[in-house]
A and B are shown apart, each in its own frame.
Chain A
Amino acid sequence: MMPGLLAVAISFFSFFVVQVVLFNLFTIKRRFQALVGMWFCLSVLYGFLFAIFQHRLPVNWLASTRIETIVSFLNGATLYLLLFLVYCCFYFTDHSLTVAFAIEFDARGSMTRDDLKQRFPYDAMLEQRLADLIANQYVRRDGGAYQLAPKGRCFVAVLGTLKNFLKLEPGG
Chain B
Amino acid sequence: MTGIIAVLITFTLYVLTHWTVCRYGNWRPHVSAINLLWLCFLPVYGFIFYLLSAHCAILRVESTSLGGIFNILNGLLLNILLLIGYTYFFFLIERGLSLRVMIEMRRSPCGKLTIPEIQQVYTYDYILDKRLGQMFKMGYATQDGPHIRNTDKGRKLAAANRLVRKILRLEQMMP
Q: Which residues of A contact B (CB under 8 A)?
A: 1-2, 5, 19-20, 23-24, 60-61, 68, 71, 75, 78-79, 82-83, 85-86, 89-91, 93-103, 105-106, 109-113, 116-117, 120, 122-130, 132-133, 138-139, 142, 144-148, 152-153, 155-156, 159-160, 162-163, 165-168, 170-172
Contacts and interface: CB of A to CB of B under 8 A. Distances in A.
Given A98-B140, A102-B158, A165-B23, A128 B149 contact: no
Which of A20, A61, A99, A163 has most chain B Cβ within 10 Å? A99
Contacts of A1: 67, 70-71, 74
A110 B148 contact: yes
Contacts of B113: 145-147
Given A89-B85, A123-B115, A156 B106 contact: yes
A163 B40 CA distance: 24
Interface of B: 1, 4, 19, 22-23, 66-67, 70-71, 74, 77-78, 81-82, 84-85, 88, 92-103, 105-106, 111-115, 117-119, 122, 124, 126-128, 130-132, 134-135, 140-141, 144, 146-150, 154-155, 157-159, 161-162, 164-165, 167-175
> Which DSSP category, helix, strand, loop or mixed, fits chain A's interface?
helix
B101 A167 contact: no
Contacts of B1: 68, 71
Pick the 7 closest A-B CB pairs, nearest first.
A172-B100, A147-B112, A106-B158, A110-B149, A82-B81, A145-B112, A89-B88
A172 B122 contact: yes
Contacts of B161: 93, 99, 102-103
A139 B113 CA distance: 11
B144 A106 contact: no
Nearest to B102: A156
Contacts of B112: 142, 145-147
A110 B99 CA distance: 30
Contact of B118 (A120, A126, A155): A126
15 contacts: A5-B74, A20-B167, A82-B85, A90-B164, A94-B171, A97-B97, A99-B158, A106-B155, A113-B148, A133-B101, A138-B98, A146-B112, A153-B106, A156-B103, A166-B19
Given A1-B74, A162-B93, A168 B88 contact: no
B97 A129 contact: yes
A130 B102 CA distance: 9
B164 A96 contact: no
A129 B100 CA distance: 11
B3 to A, nearest CB: 8
A128 B97 CA distance: 11
Given A83-B81, A103-B162, A168 B97 contact: no
Contacts of B19: 165-166
